[in-house]
Structure 1
């Protein structure tokens, strides 16, 4: 299959291995693919050095090439912050370009009778749910993904937003959008033979040295080994769609459990209403997990009832439940799980939601949703140690606790 706008700097390969990096500060509440297609494997970089608590992908764009750290986010587009001089020479898209019509929140002037000497550029202004924002010009250029195998992967004619005004990006140079929209990064690569699926593993950043996390676009694993191991058995749940926010990945929670006891939370608390409010999204760019207030209250009540460690009362930490683990043990921490649409159960270990916030102190890293109309969020802390596969053709999310230790 020919791909005229896809080139490699080395011999052609069917995958690329790139690292996801995590930046890990002490947290408080206020901080917080099919085998016959091409595959991209991208390391996810730790963000500890900037104190942002996020994961990043190494990305190079423009002429001259500019190296950027992008925060992978589900439900978003590919947006970059304009770097300092020397500025890359980017090709702005005109408002008349077909791709501009696909940009949400675009700003194009109305057509005038007098012909313009220069076509208007496709500009945009966008605000995220975490109060970060970006505004700039939708552009086109060559991008390079840096591979751990010394085979840099070049993509020609990649569409992305080049931001001139940015706030709240927590040390990132931009966002690698992994959303369901037609111009997100996976959507652009799917049209070039990579398959319409992606996956990632976010490893436990508290280990020393921290294990490498990876982002895959295409098949969930690297090249087929000589003696292949059985593919990890996954659990699946449908990916739901909210017509008012069609780019986000919604999952359906039916029930919540603490230490195996079902909580008295009506299933409607987790669901989308007829106006597109509520529901639960899964997001790689949000650190903590947020739940609708009725569910959050029952979860908090159940944890307080079952925790076997001394409680710590310190409002400055910003969490509603903190415990003393000065003995060095984490025994007595309850386990939480969620029953999902389709019959699967998501059961993360307690280390995914009880986090170290001070010496000898762990806190329950959950927060209530601030507005009744807002959606719940399963953040990246809750996802650690799981291989998550977003199969966009079958509109389903696969997850397993096995398969992340891929070399």
Structure 2
């Protein structure tokens, strides 16, 4: 009897998990090998706002340059009829949400909320999850959670907090989304039903309201959790995998970057797996959203720096570690490692210090009149032997005419010491996040082909 009860309990747990996954997945018929390719739009920041934080349907990623924000964005249309939105592409969070008017959702109101981008009451396909539904258990909720079991339309409230204390709250809902996609043959539109997202009527904090958020109406979470955009669509494509290329934002006009959900178009349109260097994705049960990687060694101009590997490691409390985050602009490194990197850079820079530079940068040099400035080369040796050795422009950025600054900042280890490889450091690479094999691949080849 005990064995039978245990088996029944396990079966019910499995069915509940399956139900949660299905409820969180948009309705999209796709076979394994299919993929979705979205254009990414990039918007570089002014220097002072750089801090945190088979059958194919394709869609670009856009640069944020015209809006003064250091993010990459995805354009989509939400609702029926479709309403246009621009969302930050963020591998450092799970929730997909848009600034929303709560009018007619969980109660009446007389006017549109300031800053609202999506009007739920104007969409015939908008449906908030009920607060006692299985889907509502997938999101963090206010405490005490307000829920009326007897009310048919008692909406699921969510309260999603980011690592810097920023917050989005509203109703966890489902909606039809139309994605502007591209393919080698023609531009197409992919219409997906049942996307789980947050209809956010409150947002606070620098990550979701400041200069770095300028021009966007929400966040497209691409993290490892079940409610992220990549997880929801990846399940429908039969592959828990996505990839992107973040092209150099300093070029004018900036080239198109892409986000690909699924297995990708193959060797004709992107780098084959044989060209990618892979490093394992590490798990942190206390922060399951993030894509953690392991750093073994750091070199500057080929010299190995005497940095203890524990500087980059997760501790038993889930603190520390290193993540790859498209939603953070600069790269942030644990302070003990950062100080040794900074000292090595200063010894080798060989250029005069800049007379004036924006606050917040520890190393700025004057390159006026120098056609090809000689700047130190940084390389990170990852677990598994993969080496990230980005071009100098990925970490010495131009902040003013003739002035370049080291775009790496320290993180205090006393406050968790989470190191972050930001989107400037990632530029010019194809990055493949493979959840099925729990690995991250990257390559300097493939971005041009993917565009």
Relative to the length of structure 2, the TM-score reads: 0.81
What is aligned with 1:81? Answer: 99
- Deviation, 1:277, is 0.3
Q: Deviations over 1:220-250 (max 9, x none)?
A: 336957xx99666111000001110011100
SS at match of 1:21: strand
**What residue in structure 2 maps to residue 54 of structure 1?**
71
CA offsets, 1:159-193, max 9 Å, x none? 01110011333122111111111111111112212
- Deviation track 1:74-108 (CA, whole Å, cap 9, x = no partner) reads 14221111134754432111112111111134557
For residue 418 of structure 2, what is the aligned residue in structure 1? 375
Q: 1:260 to 1:70 in 2, by over 3 A?
A: same
Q: Which moved more, 1:67-76 or 1:129-138?
A: 129-138
| Ranges in structure 2 where 5+ consecutive residues have no aligned partner | 1-24, 101-115
The 5 Å alignment of 1:82-231 reads 82=100, 83-84=116-117, 87=120, 88-89=122-123, 90-105=126-141, 109=145, 116-148=150-182, 149-167=186-204, 168=206, 169=208, 170-171=213-214, 172-221=216-265
Name the Cα RMSD after superposition.
2.5
The answer on whether the counterparts of 1:232 and 1:400 sit within 8 Å (CA) in structure 2 is no
Structure 1: distance between partners of 2:334 and 2:138: 32
| Equivalent in the alignment of 2:85 | 68
Displacement, 1:25? Answer: 3.3
Of 254-263 and 365-374, deviating more is: 365-374
- Greater displacement, 367-376 / 202-211: 367-376
Hey, what does 2:430 align to over in structure 1?
387
Tell me the distance in 2 between the aligned counterparts of 1:85 and 1:393.
34
- Relative to structure 1, the CA distance from residue 332 to residue 18 in structure 2 (aligned partners, 3 Å threshold; closer, same or farther) is same
Q: Secondary structure at the match of 2:326?
A: coil
Contact preservation (8 Å) 2:300, 2:378: yes
Q: Is the 8 A contact 2:98 2:117 kept in 1?
A: no
Contact residue 201 and residue 386 of structure 1 kept, 8 A? yes
Cα deviation, residue 211, structure 1: 1.2
Number of aligned residues: 393
Normalized per residue, the structure richer in helix is 2
Task: Give the superposition deviation at 1:261.
Answer: 0.5
In the alignment, the residues of structure 1 paired with residue 333 and residue 349 of structure 2 have an alpha-carbon distance, to the nearest angstrom, of 20
Inter-CA distance 386–316: structure 2 relative to 1 (3 Å threshold): closer
Q: Check whether the contact 1:109–1:120 (CA below 8 A) recurs between aligned residues.
A: no
Return closer, same or farther for 1:106/1:329 CA change in 2, 3 Å cut-off: farther
Is the Cα–Cα contact under 8 Å of residues 131 and 147 in structure 2 kept in the other structure? no
CA distance in 1, matches of 2:49, 2:343: 19
Per-residue CA deviation, residues 203-223 of structure 1 (Å, 9 max, x unaligned), is 001112211100001123369
For the residues of structure 2 that align with 1:233 and 1:392, how far apart are their CA atoms? 19
